[in-house]
Amino acid sequence: MFFLCIYKGKERMVEVERRQIIIGRPSSSLGHPDLNLQPDKNVSRRHARIFQKDGCYWIEDLGSRLGVLVNGLRVRDPRRVTFGDRILIGRTEVRMVSTELQK
C-alpha cells in the first residue's frame, strides 16, 4: 500500500507492505516506525497504527499527545479508514493510496 504524506506543502509517496503499520518518528529505544513522519516534531514516537481486520483498514491512536484526526474528526477508538480519507497526524496529512492507482 502507498501513503501520500504532506508536510509543510511538500508531498512524498511512501510504500509500506505490512498488515499492521506503526506511524511515528524514529527513536533510539523504539527504532524506526513503518511510516516515518520525521521531521514533524508534533508526531509522537509511536503515534498511531493502521491495521487490517475483517477485510477493512482501521486506524488507532496509540496514546499520542496530540491525537489523530480522520476527515476532521478525532479518533478515540479504532476507526475504519478508506482510500482517500484525510488522516492528520501531528501537522502531517496522510492519505492511503490504492496500489492499483499507482500503476
- Quick one: pLDDT at residue 103? 45
pLDDT at site 5: 94
Confidence of residue 100 (pLDDT cuts 50, 70, 90): low
Q: Give the pLDDT confidence score for residue 13 in this predicted structure.
A: 92
Looking at the structure of the chain, the number of domains it has is 1
- CA-to-CA separations, 25 to 5, 19, 35, 74, 102, in angstroms, rounded: 13, 19, 8, 20, 26
The pTM is what? Answer: 0.88
If pLDDT is split at 50, 70 and 90, which confidence band does 93 have? very high
Could you tell me the CATH number of the domain that includes residue 8? 2.60.200.20
Using a pLDDT cut of 90, give the percent of the chain over it: 81
Rounded distance between C-alpha atoms, residue 41 and residue 64, angstroms: 12
Instruction: Give the domain extent around 70.
Output: 2-102
